[in-house]
């Protein structure tokens, strides 16, 4: 298994957005049907950081999720940006190469999904669902690695089938709420019952 297959993929041509700023506060909520998804690699990295700060706050770097993926780069083929109808950046999703290392030292590659970040003024209008759907759909069916994340089961379970049912024996390199350590796979039988989640080092 090589994460290199998730290099940038060419999406269907989209109008080149004028990506230069975050949107003004919305007068009305955006219509999700108008969300335009483009590769995250096409976005200025400074703008990505602005969206993450807005969604998670400036102390986000202390989160355990950052330690899980420490030293890795996000996977361009699975990471997207959502633009609003004015072609302003509305939200982002990043996916990362991680591994669960079991008691025998065997590393099980997984895709870490998130952060999913939607600008506060645009939350609840469908951008989050569009972003997660884009990443999950882009996963190569020939290498359907389990997807792991730290998030609200009420959201990621309800809409995407993530569950904490099989992660009870997993450990993370920092504090975590077991109810928020979620995994999604078509075949839960392949999941190790115990292990430590950390960056994939190929
Ligand atoms: C969580 C987040 C990504 C969801 O994206 P969004 O664009 O706001 O949500 P969507 O419009 O796609 O979905 C809206 C639906 O999800 C529900 N929902 C949104 N956030 C939820 C949450 N944290 N828990 C449970 N349900 C949630 C809404 O109630 C709504 O339900 P409805 O369709 O029945 O009305 C976004 O709110 C966000 O960026 N939050 C701050 C950062 C964060 O916590 N990210 C997730 C951890 S990686």
Question: Which helix (H) or strand (E) is 49 found in, with range?
Answer: helix 45-56
Q: Output the CA 90–ligand 1 centroid distance in Å.
A: 13
The three state secondary structure string of 76-102 is HHHCEEEECCCCCEEEEEEEEEEEEEC
DSSP 177: -
Per-residue pLDDT tens, the chain, 202 aa: give them. Answer: 567 767 654 444 444 444 545 555 444 454 454 569 999 999 999 999 999 999 999 899 999 999 999 999 999 999 999 999 899 999 999 999 999 999 999 999 999 999 999 999 999 999 999 999 999 999 988 888 999 999 999 999 999 999 999 999 999 999 999 999 999 999 999 999 999 999 998 7
Model-level pTM greater than 0.85?
yes
**Closest C-alpha to 177, from 161, 158, 160, 154:** 154
pLDDT for position 30: 47
CB 162 within 8 A of CB 156: yes
* Ligand 1 touching residue 133 (CB < 6 A): no
**Helices 127-138 and 153-160 meet at what angle, rounded to 10?**
60
pLDDT for position 202: 75
pLDDT for position 150: 97
Mapping DSSP to helix (H, G, I), strand (E, B) and coil, where does residue 151 land? coil
pLDDT for position 43: 96
Minimum CA distance residue for ligand 1 atom 4? 128
pLDDT for position 7: 63
Q: Output the CA 159–ligand 1 centroid distance in Å.
A: 10
Point out the ligand 1 atom lying closest to the alpha carbon of residue 131: 12
pLDDT for position 197: 98
Best residue among 79, 90, 114, 128 to mutate for probing ligand 1's pocket (most ligand atoms within 8 Å of CB) is 128
Domains present along the chain, CATH in parentheses:
34-199 (3.40.630.30)
E strand residue ranges, the chain: 36-39, 80-83, 89-101, 107-118, 147-150, 170-171, 181-184, 195-199
CB atoms inside a 10 Å sphere around CB 186:
9
């Amino acid at each position: 298994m090589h994460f290199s297959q998730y290099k940038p993929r060419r999406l269907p041509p989209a109008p080149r957005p004028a990506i230069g700023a975050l949107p003004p506060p919305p007068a009305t909520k955006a219509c999700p049907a108008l969300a335009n998804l483009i590769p995250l690699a096409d976005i200025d990295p400074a703008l990505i950081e602005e969206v993450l700060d807005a969604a998670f706050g400036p102390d986000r770097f202390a989160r355990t999720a950052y330690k899980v993926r420490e030293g890795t780069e996000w996977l361009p083929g699975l990471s997207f940006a959502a633009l609003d109808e004015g072609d302003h950046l509305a939200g982002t999703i990043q996916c990362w190469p991680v591994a669960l290392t079991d008691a025998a030292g065997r590393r099980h590659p997984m895709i870490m999904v998130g952060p999913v970040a939607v600008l506060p003024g645009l939350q609840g209008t469908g951008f989050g669902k569009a972003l997660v759907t884009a990443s999950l759909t882009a996963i190569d069916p020939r290498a359907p690695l389990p997807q792991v994340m730290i998030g609200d089961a009420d959201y990621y379970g309800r809409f995407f089938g993530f569950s904490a049912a099989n992660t009870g024996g997993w450990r993370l390199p920092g504090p975590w709420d077991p109810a928020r350590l979620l995994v999604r796979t078509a075949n839960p039988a392949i999941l190790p019952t115990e292990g430590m989640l950390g960056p994939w080092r190929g």
